[in-house]
Amino acid sequence: MEGFYEELCRILTEEGSVLREEPMKNHTTFRVGGPAEYFVTVKTTEELQETIKLCNRYEVPWFVLGNGSNLLVSDAGVRGVILRLAGEFTECEIKEDIYSGNADAMAGGGMLLSAFAMRLAKKGFSGFEFAAGIPGSVGGAVMMNAGAYGGEIKDCITKAEIVTEAGERKILTAEELKLSYRHSVLMEEKGIVTKAWFSFPIGSKLYILSNIEMLNRKRKEKQPLEYPSAGSTFKRPVGNFAGKLIMEAGLAGKQIGGAAVSEKHCGFVINKDNATAKDIYELMQYVTDKVEEYSGIRLEPEVKLLGDFSI
């Protein structure tokens, strides 16, 4: 694979753009995960396209990281390329249309949702307050139609640019993205969100900022933000709540190794005490089985698994 590495370095010439055997615990919100064979930072769409085409030519698997939230990487690590979006992918543009009373905004796929939400709020554009406390990137949020407190990406997105599995650029409308609860077409058709466009109504800057402050206060009161986690560990079952089912099954505080079910919010599995990915995975499996035994409902993970968990 030296030929692959050399070609990768020819595409990405900036120092530190290509790292080998990089510990993924440094790049995930769970703070666990073994080494990535290649950890690659791309700053332009052209670099991203060339990298994907190179991976395809050498049959090297690749995965785009986002902010490392909503992700559990195995202790054994990941073979292939982990892609991190930087540079132009972390920029945004916001334009006010005084005739329509709306703002049109574009955000790069690597931009933090929280940063984008605050940029909008400070300009007095409403409708994205729900995203201010979500620890993810714009691209990851589009891919899974992230949401909180009654708001979702599908409520405000108009279109997205993606780089396909073949390394080609493509624009998808909101309808073509097929956004639904924690789902988009990109979960079946592999692609990377490089840019996303949104439309927001103009509102009161003071009200929007106070709303964000209120939502963040609620998060701090109700969620175990003091511990590393991936956010909500399980999807919300139809007509119910994962945290409620887990609590009713008597699993609050249940611990395997350093991983625990949060007593503050049972929908969160947390890295309480130097957990391994194996600890977290086994606790997720245990919770899933016990909740099914108690309620007949089998929870589905919201957290994406990456790597080999059979070891």
List C-alpha distances in Å: 173 to 286, 290, 308.
40, 41, 35
Question: Are residues 178 and 263 located together in one domain of the fold?
Answer: no
Considering all CA atoms of the chain, what is the largest pairwise distance in Å, rounded to the nearest integer? 60
Residue 191 within a domain: yes
Domain count, the chain: 3
CA–CA gap between residue 84 and residue 272 (Å, rounded): 27
Spell out the per-residue pLDDT of the chain, length 311, in tens.
679 999 999 999 999 999 999 999 999 999 999 999 999 999 999 999 999 999 999 999 999 998 999 899 999 999 999 999 999 999 999 987 766 678 899 999 999 999 999 999 999 999 999 999 998 999 999 999 999 889 999 999 999 999 999 999 999 999 999 999 989 999 888 899 999 999 999 888 999 999 999 999 999 999 999 999 999 999 999 999 999 999 999 999 999 999 999 999 999 999 999 999 999 999 999 999 999 999 999 999 999 999 999 86
CA–CA gap between residue 263 and residue 78 (Å, rounded): 31
CATH assignment at residue 274: 3.90.78.10
Question: Are residues 97 and 210 located together in one domain of the fold?
Answer: yes
From the number of C-beta atoms within 10 Å of its C-beta (0-12, 13-18, 19+), residue 41 rates as: buried
Question: Are residues 207 and 124 located together in one domain of the fold?
Answer: yes
Our separate counts of H helices and E strands in the chain read 8, 16
* 69 among known catalytic residues: no
Domain-terminating residue out of 61, 85, 109: 85
Residue 276 within a domain: yes
Residue 125 within a domain: yes
Domain-terminating residue out of 168, 187, 222: 222
Question: Are residues 113 and 64 located together in one domain of the fold?
Answer: no
pLDDT of residue 2: 75
Rounded to the nearest 5 degrees, what angle is found at the Cα of 235, between the Cα atoms of 234 and 238?
Answer: 135
Question: Are residues 96 and 76 located together in one domain of the fold?
Answer: no
Residue 227 within a domain: no
Catalytic residue, chosen from 137, 229, 232, 262, is 232
Question: Are residues 95 and 218 located together in one domain of the fold?
Answer: yes
* 152 among known catalytic residues: no
pTM here? 0.91
Task: Classify residue 234 by its DSSP letter.
Answer: B
Picking from 193, 163, 141, 160, the residue whose alpha carbon sits closest to that of residue 51 is 163
Picking from 107, 112, 117, the residue whose alpha carbon sits closest to that of residue 161 is 107
* 129 among known catalytic residues: no
CA–CA gap between residue 167 and residue 83 (Å, rounded): 13
CATH assignment at residue 102: 3.30.465.10
Question: Are residues 77 and 158 located together in one domain of the fold?
Answer: no
Picking from 122, 127, 119, the residue whose alpha carbon sits closest to that of residue 205 is 122
311, 74 Cβ separation under 8 angstroms: yes
- Residue 78's CB is within 10 A of a number of other CB atoms, namely 23
CA–CA gap between residue 90 and residue 81 (Å, rounded): 20
Residue 188 is part of which domain span?
Answer: 91-222
Residue 216 within a domain: yes
Length of the chain counted residue by residue? 311
177, 80 Cβ separation under 8 angstroms: no
CATH assignment at residue 34: 3.30.43.10
Catalytic residue, chosen from 37, 152, 161, 182, is 182
CA–CA gap between residue 197 and residue 191 (Å, rounded): 17
Question: Are residues 62 and 25 located together in one domain of the fold?
Answer: yes
- Using one digit for the tens of pLDDT, what is the confidence trace for 201-210? 988 899 999 9
